[in-house]
């Protein structure tokens, strides 16, 4: 697949995506975290790319959300879900859910949502999710003691691209390789032609070295795990918390509850790794590292130990100097050291032994290392006691080499252990993060008493349009517990009348929300719902006051386009009459309804002018009504579910009726007759 074919992916983004291991598969998987690993692609962008890929996969190039208010409703739905996530990842990932007109996309999302709502959002799991985040790639580590070597220009280019951690050197013959062997602790020759090469030092010929990066640069794998330690531990904790809550993550859907990686093994491997990607917890490596680091200091303390011994010994001895010696001391400036040798040989030897012992102890040297260390002291007698700098340097070289060998072996061992853990560890983290998405959907469904709706294609099921039973909008300005259930079904075009504040706008919001959520493949806040798979949702909010001529013309043009549009749309319009004077409004709305009625469109027009519109229309306009049961203590008592085929009485009519009842008299009676 051409990456540029995905909606929203331009040349620049495609180039960034090509940096991923398997760009096409990653993008098609919809794995937001994996897509976000492309350079310069953040999670929000990754979610848009994933959404584009989903659209493409389902051949879904329609735009269901056709108006500002419809898009606003979608944002509100997404926000309700996002509020229920713990991780930033899940919040972004939810954006891959969008209202679709594609049956296969809705089915796919519904399958995900059905599994999600079966979950039990456990507080301990939420807590564990707090530290979860997608894995990240650490910056490239430069390894300076190892190099790759080749005689071939193509291999050189490939090696430089695939193993940026190591220098890649050009060699022509064994002599070049041998020279490299002197500058690098180890050399990996990539050309088969060098097989059987016999040069000194740590030089190996490995034509497959580029295919086995875990062996060639174990540092890469170690840096990856070191960088992601906390995320991996957090993901492990999520799996454990979920298992303890009896609802294991096991996102593979095969019922296998075990996490994709043995958590003890992962933790053991991580415990062998320092935060900077070096080896931790190996006593021998620690000993050698400390010995190299402390060498100079230990030599100098060992010398002081010897000096103290010798000083003590000299202080306690009477030394007789022969006249000739004294003369040579005075005349020739001979050093007094020669006297040491002659007069204090034993004491000097003891002091040297003490120094050697101190050095071996302080550096915790092994016997063969101690042998080397012995040569540091014991040269020509002197006071203060001298040490042999070249012996120190040899010891340092030896210890450093042992340390590097040890580290290299341990790194290789650990990298080989971690090598098979990498993929399952990525899955571990991905599953934990996906669990957050699922739990957000589960909590949403529980918090708002949701069900998975039936979404039917045009011509499927008993009727088109929508049917909502017991719908309760979470978007109202009252506590969700106080929201009264609404039953409402519409097929075709209808007017919705009703008393002021009866809940007409809230009903339109509920319908739009249920339809948008249903086409996102998500549960809807209702006892049950059947929704046609609409191609487009046009929701027009109430306009704020009368429009000037220009704006009025623009709005009319909008509706002109609307009636010219395709089949399979849902049109929700709130009090369109407010755009102009009531008489003209009624005629305009009647005309629009008439045009829509001739099409396969589902429409609900909220209006206070239902009677006038009906009178102005050339066809039998369907009218539903939100009816007030009456006024109780000055308060409207409303039946929130619109009554089918019923023109609701308006609030003024109700008040006149109440006055006619309460006060009697001709005036109120006559007034009432006029309604």
Binding residues for ligand ATP (CB under 6 A)? 476-478, 482-484, 486, 498, 500-506, 640
Angle at 553 between CA 549 and CA 556, to 5 degrees: 140
Nearer to ligand ATP, 416 or 639 (CB): 639
> Is 498 labelled as part of a ligand binding site?
yes
How near is the Cβ of 456 to ligand ATP at its closest, in Å?
Answer: 25
Nearer to ligand ATP, 526 or 616 (CB): 526
Nearer to ligand ATP, 6 or 606 (CB): 606
How near is the Cβ of 575 to ligand ATP at its closest, in Å?
Answer: 6
> Is 500 labelled as part of a ligand binding site?
yes
> Is 499 labelled as part of a ligand binding site?
yes
In degrees and rounded to multiples of 5, residue 205 shows phi and psi of: -105, 115
118 CB-near residues (< 8 Å, 6+ apart): 442
**Lookup: tokens for 497:** 């009348």
How near is the Cβ of 479 to ligand ATP at its closest, in Å?
Answer: 9
What sign has the CA pseudo-torsion 12, 16, 18, 23?
negative
> Is 503 labelled as part of a ligand binding site?
yes
What sign has the CA pseudo-torsion 387, 390, 394, 396?
positive
Nearer to ligand ATP, 352 or 626 (CB): 626
Nearer to ligand ATP, 408 or 476 (CB): 476
**Cα 346 to Cα 341: distance, rounded to the nearest angstrom:** 9
Nearer to ligand ATP, 412 or 478 (CB): 478
569-574 and 186-189 as β-strands: parallel, antiparallel, unpaired? unpaired
> Is 665 labelled as part of a ligand binding site?
no
Residue whose Cβ sits closest to ligand ATP:
503
In degrees and rounded to multiples of 5, residue 151 shows phi and psi of: -105, -5
> Is 304 labelled as part of a ligand binding site?
no
**Cα 191 to Cα 506: distance, rounded to the nearest angstrom:** 74
How near is the Cβ of 638 to ligand ATP at its closest, in Å?
Answer: 8
**Lookup: tokens for 504:** 């007409």
347 vs 337, 339, 355, 524, CA distance in Å? 13, 12, 12, 94
**Cα 513 to Cα 75: distance, rounded to the nearest angstrom:** 10
How near is the Cβ of 624 to ligand ATP at its closest, in Å?
Answer: 12
> Is 246 labelled as part of a ligand binding site?
no
How near is the Cβ of 499 to ligand ATP at its closest, in Å?
Answer: 7
Nearer to ligand ATP, 2 or 633 (CB): 633
**Cα 118 to Cα 111: distance, rounded to the nearest angstrom:** 11
**Cα 623 to Cα 597: distance, rounded to the nearest angstrom:** 13
Nearer to ligand ATP, 48 or 467 (CB): 467
List the one residue out of 537, 539, 520, 504 whose CA is nearest residue 453: 520
How near is the Cβ of 30 to ligand ATP at its closest, in Å?
Answer: 36
**Lookup: tokens for 407:** 């580290």
Burial state string for 213-252 with b = 16 or more CB within 10 A and e = fewer than 16: bbbbbbbbbbbbbbbbeebbbbbbbbbbbbbebebbbbbe
How near is the Cβ of 21 to ligand ATP at its closest, in Å?
Answer: 51
How near is the Cβ of 101 to ligand ATP at its closest, in Å?
Answer: 28
Nearer to ligand ATP, 31 or 627 (CB): 627
78 vs 130, 441, 522, 528, CA distance in Å? 20, 10, 11, 21
Number of H helices, E strands in the chain: 27, 15
**Cα 271 to Cα 213: distance, rounded to the nearest angstrom:** 22
248 vs 85, 125, 237, 289, 423, CA distance in Å? 18, 10, 12, 43, 20
Nearer to ligand ATP, 509 or 657 (CB): 509
> Is 505 labelled as part of a ligand binding site?
yes
**Cα 126 to Cα 114: distance, rounded to the nearest angstrom:** 20
Nearer to ligand ATP, 484 or 594 (CB): 484
List the one residue out of 372, 378, 376 whose CA is nearest residue 350: 378
* DSSP code of residue 349: H
In degrees and rounded to multiples of 5, residue 472 shows phi and psi of: -130, 115
Peptide bond into 384 cis (omega under 30): yes
HEC per residue, 23-41 = HHHHHHHCCHHHHCCCCCC
**What residue spans of 131-228 are helical by DSSP H?**
153-162, 174-183, 213-216, 218-227
Nearer to ligand ATP, 70 or 177 (CB): 70
Nearer to ligand ATP, 406 or 504 (CB): 504
Burial of 77 (0-12, 13-18, 19+ CB in 10 A): buried
Nearer to ligand ATP, 498 or 568 (CB): 498
**Which residues on neighbouring strands pair with residue 455, listed in sequence order?**
531
How near is the Cβ of 639 to ligand ATP at its closest, in Å?
Answer: 10
Annotated binding site, which residues? 498-505
Annotated binding site for ATP: 498-505
């Amino acid at each position: 697949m051409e990456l540029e074919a995905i909606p929203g992916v331009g040349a620049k983004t495609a180039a960034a995506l090509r940096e991923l291991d398997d760009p096409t598969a990653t993008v098609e998987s919809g794995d937001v975290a994996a897509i976000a690993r492309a350079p310069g692609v953040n999670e929000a962008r990754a979610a848009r790319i994933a959404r584009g890929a989903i659209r493409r996969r389902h051949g879904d190039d329609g735009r269901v959300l056709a108006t500002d208010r419809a898009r606003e409703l979608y944002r509100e739905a997404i926000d309700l879900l996002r509020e229920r996530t713990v991780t930033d990842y899940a919040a972004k990932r939810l954006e891959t859910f969008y209202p679709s007109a594609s049956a296969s996309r809705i089915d796919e999302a519904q399958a995900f949502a059905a599994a999600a709502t079966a979950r039990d959002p456990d507080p301990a799991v939420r807590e564990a999710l707090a530290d979860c985040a997608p894995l990240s790639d650490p910056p490239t580590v430069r390894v300076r003691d190892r190099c790759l070597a080749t005689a071939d220009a193509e291999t050189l280019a490939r090696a430089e691209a695939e193993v940026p951690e190591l220098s890649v050197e050009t060699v022509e013959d064994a002599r070049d390789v041998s020279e490299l062997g002197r500058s690098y602790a180890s050399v990996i020759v990539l050309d088969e032609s060098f097989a059987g090469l016999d040069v000194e030092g740590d030089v190996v010929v490995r034509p497959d070295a580029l295919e086995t990066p875990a062996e060639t640069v174990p540092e890469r794998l170690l840096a990856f795990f070191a960088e992601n330690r906390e995320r991996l531990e957090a993901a492990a904790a999520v799996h454990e918390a979920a298992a303890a809550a009896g609802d294991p993550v096991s996102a593979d859907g095969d019922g296998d509850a075990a996490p994709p990686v043995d958590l003890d093994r992962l933790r053991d491997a991580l415990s062998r790794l320092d935060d900077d990607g070096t080896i931790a917890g190996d006593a021998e490596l620690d000993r050698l590292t400390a010995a190299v680091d402390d060498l100079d200091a230990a030599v100098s303390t060992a010398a002081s130990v010897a000096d103290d011994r010798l000083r003590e010994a000299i202080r306690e001895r009477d030394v007789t100097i022969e006249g000739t010696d004294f003369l040579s001391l005075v005349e020739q400036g001979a050093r007094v050291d020669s006297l040491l040798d002659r007069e204090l040989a034993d004491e000097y030897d003891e002091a040297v032994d003490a120094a050697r012992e101190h050095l071996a102890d302080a550096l915790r040297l092994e016997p063969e290392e101690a042998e080397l260390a012995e040569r540091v002291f014991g040269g020509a007698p002197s006071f203060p006691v001298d040490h042999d700098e070249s012996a120190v340097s040899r010891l340092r070289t030896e210890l450093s080499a042992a340390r590097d060998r040890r580290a290299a072996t341990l790194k290789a061992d650990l990298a080989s252990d971690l090598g098979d853990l990498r993929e399952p560890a990525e899955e571990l983290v991905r599953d934990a993060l996906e669990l957050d998405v699922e739990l957000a959907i589960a909590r949403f469904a529980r918090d708002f008493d949701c069900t998975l709706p039936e979404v039917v294609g045009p011509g499927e099921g008993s009727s088109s349009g929508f049917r909502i039973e017991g719908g309760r909008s979470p978007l109202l300005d009252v506590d969700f517990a106080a929201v009264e259930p609404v039953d409402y079904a519409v097929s075709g075009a209808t007017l919705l009348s009703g008393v002021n504040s009866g809940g007409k706008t809230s009903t339109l919001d509920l319908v739009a929300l249920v339809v948008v959520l249903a086409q996102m493949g998500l549960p809807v806040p209702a006892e049950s719902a059947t929704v046609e798979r609409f191609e487009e949702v046009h929701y027009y909010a109430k306009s704020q006051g009368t429009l000037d001529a220009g704006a009025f013309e623009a709005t009319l043009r909008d509706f002109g386009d609307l009636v010219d549009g395709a089949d399979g749309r849902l049109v929700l319009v709130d009090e369109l009459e407010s755009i102009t004077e009531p008489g003209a409004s009624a005629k305009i709305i009647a005309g629009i309804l008439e045009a829509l009625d001739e099409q396969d469109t589902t429409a609900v027009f909220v209006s206070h002018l239902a009677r006038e519109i009906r009178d102005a229309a050339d066809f039998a306009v369907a009218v539903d009504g939100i009816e007030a049961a009456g006024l109780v203590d000055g308060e409207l008592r409303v039946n929130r579910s619109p009554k089918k085929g019923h023109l609701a009485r308006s609030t003024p009519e109700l008040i006149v009726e109440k006055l006619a009842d309460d006060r009697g008299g001709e005036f109120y009676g006559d007034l009432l007759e006029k309604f």
